[in-house]
Structure 1
Amino acid sequence: MAENSTDPRTGPPAPKSRAQQSTRDLLLSMLPLLLVLLALTGLVGMCSFSPGGPSVDPDVGARSDPDGDLRRAVGSVDLAVREPDLSEDWRVNNVRVSQLGDRGTVATALRVGYLTPDGRYLRLSQSDAEEAELVAFETGVDPAGLGTVEAAGLTWVRYAAQRDEEAWTTELDGQRVLLTGSADEPEFRELAEATVAGDLVEPGAGTATDGG
């Protein structure tokens, strides 16, 4: 019977080196980060870049009944506001009422956010606040005038805003109207014209009369 023999060159495999173990641990620790990056890549794919400002999907967050939202909001404030006469390519994504001021003097602003046909954002604010107060509130910075512009038969004062945006403001119907957002100048002009030409909605009643 043959005797069992052991080849000194064979035996259990040598343990992995410290470098190999470190590489494996590093790959395992990076796995959750890779999963997060993949998820973020999917979200980024839903957005697009526009040289004129952020671009968003016009169907995201659009209101199903913008006229009704506006009139219900007007019914809760003591303001007569214009209802812009815009095409269906403009989508309303929010309507809100905000209070401005302190020290016993409180103003009201009815604010309507729009997604433009090119997917940019533009907000219309109509308020009984003073110009400087409304500009600071809507732009988030101290008022810094950039000159004036003529639009819809009115003179609008231009102000700097955050993120290289700007704001236009004028007086209409005895109160302050302000536009601000990432839209380009033609879109500012379109909303300005639509606002001036829009119906005048009386405070509280939620009814409209012809604009002019």
Structure 2
Amino acid sequence: MRKPERGETSIRDMLGALVILIPIGLVLFSVGTCSFSPAGPVENAESGPSVDIGARLTEYALGSAFPLRVPDVPFRANSTDRGPVEGGGTAVRVGYVTPDADYLSLVQTDASAEGVLVTESGSSDRGDGPPRMQGTVEAGGLTWEVYQREGGEPFRIATLGGEPEVRFLVTGSASEEQFRTLADSLATARVLPAGAPTG
């Protein structure tokens, strides 16, 4: 056994140190390029798809058994959909993204309040009951019944008179003020007659 030369020890030590330091440096570099967001990921309210709801709702009105309204709101419409409601009837949905990157879903339907609540809350899929009624609020000249599960988003339902009877359901993470903005816009919205094109 001979004592290693000073040069031999330094090279071996340097290689060992590099083997340890390179992975640490890579980890630090990757962490340094990320941003810390204690409130969770932040969505850009201007990013994502946009939908021309006037054109889409005009298409839906051609095959609809009830008139549809086209609200004019300062939110970006990013989705539309039409489908059946449990217990009978049809739901026409519009999804909105607010300037705060929250969302609102507007449902227009000729279905019963119970049917649209069960369908939109997904309670039939989970096997639990629908959200419970928490009271009513006045907005946009209508009385809205508010349903909510503990810790969940509210489902607000308002009924218009007439034949056929039409209901609105609004849900989502947006603020009460933004809900009221949408409710107010429904009161002055352009109406698309059922089954007929409009100019």
Fold shared per TM-score above 0.5: yes
For the 8 Å contact 1:139–1:162, the answer to whether it is kept is no
C-alpha distance in 1 between matches for 2:193 and 2:20: 68
Q: TM-score normalized by structure 1?
A: 0.69
Equivalent of 2:138, from 150, 153, 170? 150
Residue-pair matches, total: 186
**Aligned twin of 2:88:** 106
| Distance 1:55-1:192 versus aligned 2 partners, 3 A rule | farther
Q: Compare CA radii of gyration and give the structure with the larger one.
A: 1
C-alpha distance in 2 between matches for 1:164 and 1:31: 41
Using the TM superposition, give the Cα deviation of residue 12 of structure 1 relative to its aligned residue in structure 2, in angstroms: 9.4
Unaligned runs of 5+ in 1: 1-6
C-alpha distance in 2 between matches for 1:38 and 1:67: 45
**Aligned twin of 1:168:** 156
C-alpha distance in 1 between matches for 2:166 and 2:139: 17
1:198 is aligned to 2:182:
no
C-alpha distance in 1 between matches for 2:92 and 2:185: 16
C-alpha distance in 1 between matches for 2:117 and 2:155: 8
Equivalence map 1:10-25=2 (5 Å): 10=5, 13=8, 24=19
Name whichever of 76-85 and 121-130 sits farther off: 76-85
Percent identity of paired positions between Structure 1 and Structure 2: 30
CA offset digits 1:116-161 (Å, max 9, x no partner): 2333211110112211221122233422111000112211100115
Equivalent of 2:97, from 115, 121, 139? 115
Aligned-residue RMSD, C-alpha: 3.6
Equivalent of 1:159, from 111, 136, 147? 147
C-alpha distance in 1 between matches for 2:72 and 2:118: 27
1:183 is aligned to 2:174:
yes
Amino acid at match of 2:43: V
Unaligned runs of 5+ in 2: 124-129
C-alpha distance in 2 between matches for 1:110 and 1:11: 81
C-alpha distance in 2 between matches for 1:92 and 1:155: 25
**Aligned twin of 1:78:** 65
Name whichever of 114-123 and 173-182 sits farther off: 114-123
For the 8 Å contact 1:132–1:143, the answer to whether it is kept is no
**Aligned twin of 2:118:** 136
